[in-house]
Structure 1
Amino acid sequence: MTAPARPFDPATATIAIVTYNRSGLLSRLLTSIGEMDPKPGHVVVIDNASVDDTPELVASFTDRIGTTLVYRRMETNTGGSGGFSEGVRVAYELGSEWIWLMDDDVEVIPDGLAKMGKWAPRFQSIQGRRYDYDGSEFYWQYRVAEPLAIPIPFAPAGFDASGYRPMNSGCFEGMFIHRDIVAQIGLPDPRFFIYWDDQTYGWLASRKTNSVIVNEFVLRRGREIKQWDMGVRHLNASSNAYRYYIMRNRAYIKHYYRSLGVYRRVPFAAGTALTFGKELIRLLFVERTVRGTSNLFRGLRDGRAIAKDRSWQPMPPLEPARA
């Protein structure tokens, strides 16, 4: 688990963005990238077949963003998972040393890349911090209880003098990953569509390198989300689609665990039950309703069929293992 020794060159980094029918938010993100100093060598925008004015918007930034802008339009909506898989593929094929993944509803702090680059000579999988829409410090659950395959909600929020904490998860809202790790673990798995994809990808990365979250604020959320404020922690509003995929995709995590020999039936089942319970709490205290539980049960049902698929294979590495 060694990190690259050479100094960080911003020109070797690519920001990969996934967007879908949110041109207003995307405009704010691209504007913030145009104000960055330093800027990345490339910005890749993956458009999940938007039906708004996203193509025209991206074209309007081509000559004013201050770096090379690459636009890829998907034929269908492949979800965040499919979009980030394609974004990493494009960035990797561009020769990028570093790939910085972002949703379209964030904005970049002007010196964000410099802050991330400061850690690049030491680590190969890095997560920065983010301000919430109201300017507060957003807490992201950076540790996974591996046997349960769920985030640890009480992982310490503070940092010591080192300025970082070890993590074994990932978030596509700011994951900063080196191409050497991408080569070993492959592309993000598009089969997830949405949910658990970034946690799984970050977990896979942490098995290859020392992954960290650093005490650097590099992003801010560009839109307000309904949430239940629990102090340091927040529980965001969700949707029926999220409720379905959060349960269905447990089956994909199970497959990854089995392929790597870490699956344990009882604790994993407990993690699934806790996930189900958390979503019920989200419905009651954030959505203020009990409607939507059918999507949780439907996700569990479809997940059982996926878990029985003996032909399933994990995403392959992009390059063969080095001797």
Structure 2
Amino acid sequence: MTGGTGGRAADGAGGEPAVPAVHLVIVTFNRSAYLRGLLDSVLALDPAPAGVTVVDNASTDDTPEVTAAFAAAAPFPVRVERLPVNSGGSGGFRAGVRAVLEATATEDAAWLWLMDDDVVAVPDALAAIGPFLADAGAVHGRRWDENGRPFFWQNRFNTWLGIPLPVPGDVFRSGPVTRTDVGCFEGMFLDRHTAERMGPPDARFFLTWDDAMYGWLISRTEPVTYVDRYVLRKVRPQRHVDLGVRHLNDSSDLSRYHVMRNRGHVAHYLQVEHAWSRPGFAVGTALTAAKELVRLLLVERRVGGVVPLWRGWRDSRTILRDRTWLPEMGAAAAGTPETGTPEGDA
């Protein structure tokens, strides 16, 4: 199954493939300074996007003023979705994707470009990625970190463990495009028809795992690709350590809690897709906890984050035992799957 209209359907000047209509979806919460920098970079995109939807997750700073100024300056349609409460990145992207699908036509939003507020767009990002927006449900470009180095991304999902794993070596050694089976909402290009089939992201995740699982679910029926073209640059400074095969950035107690808690949702989605392994998933959960402990000790140099990890693991077990759980994204979400209740520790 291909990605629908987002391809080389028409040629631009000089026979170059035309860039399809790309609509940006930006989720923000109380980081107006970062948001202002991102929106300034969006105004500098050449070619320009077809439109922008900014989801304001009930910010209490001057985000409304920043988005209003951007809407007044933009030469393309701008929509601001202000949510009544902070619904996390997951809820923000759910609201943003839903708004674009409901409020725009295909010719105005053939592709959705999803991103957080702490990045800036590379000026030629759409021209660089445009030729690769064909025959895929989702496409990821590369990112620079805040120091101008390639941003590390784990782009392979191990189904038995239920976790993404790093790929050693240069994934682009054979060409500029490689297949992947996870997603990242910090820069994912999402085909509109794929979004309509999948539905918006699952807001229950709040933070973390939502994009990984969204990409994995897409990859079950359509290609998901990773392209050797830089489209974003991270601007929020992060402490990190390089462990060779992978990098670890600093995190937060809120994120740590959801990393463990959302294992319950991950387990259910794996079961819906008949990819559940109780022993494998238990090992993957233990590896997830171990990674977070290493992050605490080596990157943040503290141990206070252990409590949120334990709370998240405890709450994941409650989700696992929920016999009423149903998927909210993916092909199975349109039906009434028999999710059951996975057994064992998450």
Q: What's the TM-score, normalizing by structure 2?
A: 0.89
Matched, 1:170 2:183: yes
Written as runs of structure 1 = structure 2, the 5 A alignment for 1:186-197 is 186-197=199-210
Match of 2:35 in 1: 26
Cα deviation digits, residues 247-272 of structure 1 (max 9, x gap): 00000001111111111101011100
Residue 34 of structure 1 aligns with an amino acid whose one-letter code is: L
Aligned CA-pair RMSD: 1.8
1:287 aligned to 290, 294, 300, which one?
A: 300
d(CA) in 2 for partners of 1:20, 1:76: 10
| Cα deviation, residue 128, structure 1 | 0.3
1 CA distance for matches of 2:74 and 2:238? 28
Distance 1:155 1:180 in 2: 33
Task: Give the superposition deviation at 1:283.
Answer: 0.5
Contact 2:119 2:232 in 1 (8 A): yes
Equivalent in 297, 310, 313 of residue 297 of structure 1? 310
Q: Deviations over 1:160-197 (max 9, x none)?
A: 34311110001000000101111222110000000101
- Give the AA of the match of 1:16: V
CA distance in 2, matches of 1:11, 1:209: 19
C-alpha displacement of 1:73: 0.3
- Structure 2: distance between partners of 1:184 and 1:138: 30
Please point out which of 278, 281, 303 is paired with 1:265: 278
Choose which of 47, 51, 54 in structure 2 pairs with 1:38. 47
Structure 2 contact 201–329 (Cα < 8 Å) conserved: no
Question: Could you say which residue in structure 2 is the equivalent of 1:54?
Answer: 63
**Deviation string, structure 1 residues 291-321 (Cα, Å, up to 9, x no partner):** 1111111111111111111111101569979
Shift of 1:274: 0.2
Specify the alignment match of 2:118 in structure 1. Answer: 105
Letter in 1 for 2:261: R
Deviation at residue 290 of structure 1 after TM alignment = 1.4
Offset, 1:205: 1.0
Q: CA deviation at 1:11?
A: 6.1
Give, in whole Å, the separation in 1 of the partners of 2:265 and 2:119.
Answer: 28
Identity %: 44
How far off is 1:10 after superposition? 4.4
| Counterpart secondary structure, 1:55 | helix
Which residue identity is paired with 1:261? H
1:131 matched residue in structure 2: 144
- Unaligned ranges ≥5, structure 1: none
- Whole-Å Cα distance in 1 between the matches of residues 303 and 41 of structure 2? 39
Matched, 1:214 2:223: no
User: Aligned pair 1:85/2:94, yes or no?
Assistant: yes
TM-aligned CA distance change 1:317 to 1:291, over 3 Å:
closer
Partner of 2:344: none
CA–CA distance in 2 between the matches of 1:176 and 1:117?
A: 10
Q: Does the aligned pair in 1 maintain the 2:137–2:191 contact within 8 Å?
A: yes
Distance in 1 of aligned mates of 2:86 and 2:168: 34
AA partner of residue 2 (structure 2): T
For 2:230 and 2:300, the matched residues in 1 are separated by 29
**1:194, 1:255 → 2: CA distance?**
17
203, 214, 229: which one aligns with 1:201 = 214
Q: Is residue 15 of structure 1 aligned with residue 24 of structure 2?
A: yes
Deviates more, 1:25-34 or 1:1-10: 1-10
Residues 11 and 40, structure 1, Cα contact 8 Å, conserved in 2: no
Structure 2 counterpart of 1:149: 162
- Which consecutive unaligned segments of at least 5 residues does structure 2 have? 11-16, 336-346
TM-score normalized with structure 1 length: 0.95
Residue in structure 1 matched with residue 2 of structure 2 by the alignment: 2
State the AA in 1 paired with 2:77: T
Is 2:325 the counterpart of 1:312? yes
Q: Are the counterparts in 2 of residues 42 and 68 from structure 1 also a CA contact under 8 Å?
A: yes
Q: Per the alignment, in what secondary structure is the counterpart of residue 15 of structure 1?
A: strand
Please tell me whether the aligned partners of residues 139 and 232 of structure 1 are also in contact (alpha carbons under 8 angstroms): no
C-alpha distance 65-233 of structure 1, shift in aligned 2 (>3 A): farther
**Structure 2 counterpart of 1:223:** 236
CA distance in 2, matches of 1:161, 1:169: 20
Matches within 5 A, 1:222-261: 222-231=235-244, 233-261=246-274
Distance in structure 2 (CA, Å) of the matches to 1:120 and 1:108: 17
CA distance in 2 between partners of 1:240 and 1:53 (Å)? 25
Find the residue that maps to 2:251 and give its secondary structure: coil
